[in-house]
Amino acid sequence: MTKKRRQSKTKSSQQRASQTGGVQFATIEISDDIDAPYGEDIVEAIAEASLALRRGRVEEAKTAFKGIIEREPRAYQAYHNLGAAYMMSGDMAAGEAILTEAMHKFPKYILLRTSLAQLYLQRGEVDKAEEILPGPKRHMKMTSVEFEHLAVTWADLLTDQGDYEGALSWFRLLADVKGGMLPPYWGRRLRLRLLKWLDRIASEEQG
């Protein structure tokens, strides 16, 4: 039986079409009302394993996520976090393989796509990253966490493509969704992006 976890009220945001490049959505609906296809025991197990991962108990977390997947193959969050755990332990190839397999199994789960896209961007595979990010749709629904990662990943990708205004538009949209303020982590990320943009602009002017 599907369990629905109500975490916060639904919010909607609209990104208007622009000439800056990147992806254009008619509407992005952001909702933390999650319809989990599994029971509350799995939800709690994922939360406990995720806490272990955040506290650096990587091997414990890997074992826990594997057990969760064996019990509930539909636990898409467990796949994502298992891939992240392998990467944290230094096994990038295994982590990438897990994320890739899970992305094909759960194509609507945005974090699988953004995590893989960030990995590709780190390797300089910009086109490959762009291929797996969500393309233009009439309507998309995702959680606030998924949207945050999607916005920042698109900003990173557009920065690497030299589309600074397009990248900044994603941070503006994220700030709008967050009530006019960026979360501290994303604020620091934006400052780093701005420094990167200024460096590139200076290099282009000197060239």
Q: Mind listing the pLDDT tens digit of every residue in the chain (207 residues)?
A: 334 443 333 344 433 333 334 555 557 788 888 777 889 999 999 999 999 999 999 999 999 999 999 999 999 999 999 999 999 999 999 999 999 999 999 999 999 999 999 999 999 999 999 999 986 565 778 898 999 899 889 988 988 888 888 888 888 888 887 776 666 665 566 666 666 666 666 666 666
Neighbours of 178 (CB within 10 A): 17
Q: Where are the beta strands (DSSP E) in 20-153?
A: 28-30, 33-36, 140-142
pLDDT at 181: 67
pLDDT at 4: 41
pLDDT at 8: 38
% helix, strand, coil for the chain, step of 5: 65, 10, 30
* H or E element, residue 183: none
Ordered domains of the chain (ranges, CATH): 3-206 (1.25.40.10)
**What 8-state DSSP symbol labels residue 184?**
H
Distance between the two ends of the chain, CA-based, in angstroms? Answer: 62
Is residue 134 within 8 Å of 150, Cβ to Cβ? yes
Neighbours of 68 (CB within 10 A): 23
pLDDT at 169: 84
Residue at token pair 């397999």 = 101
| Cα(80)–Cα(181) distance, integer angstroms | 28
| Cα(43)–Cα(136) distance, integer angstroms | 31
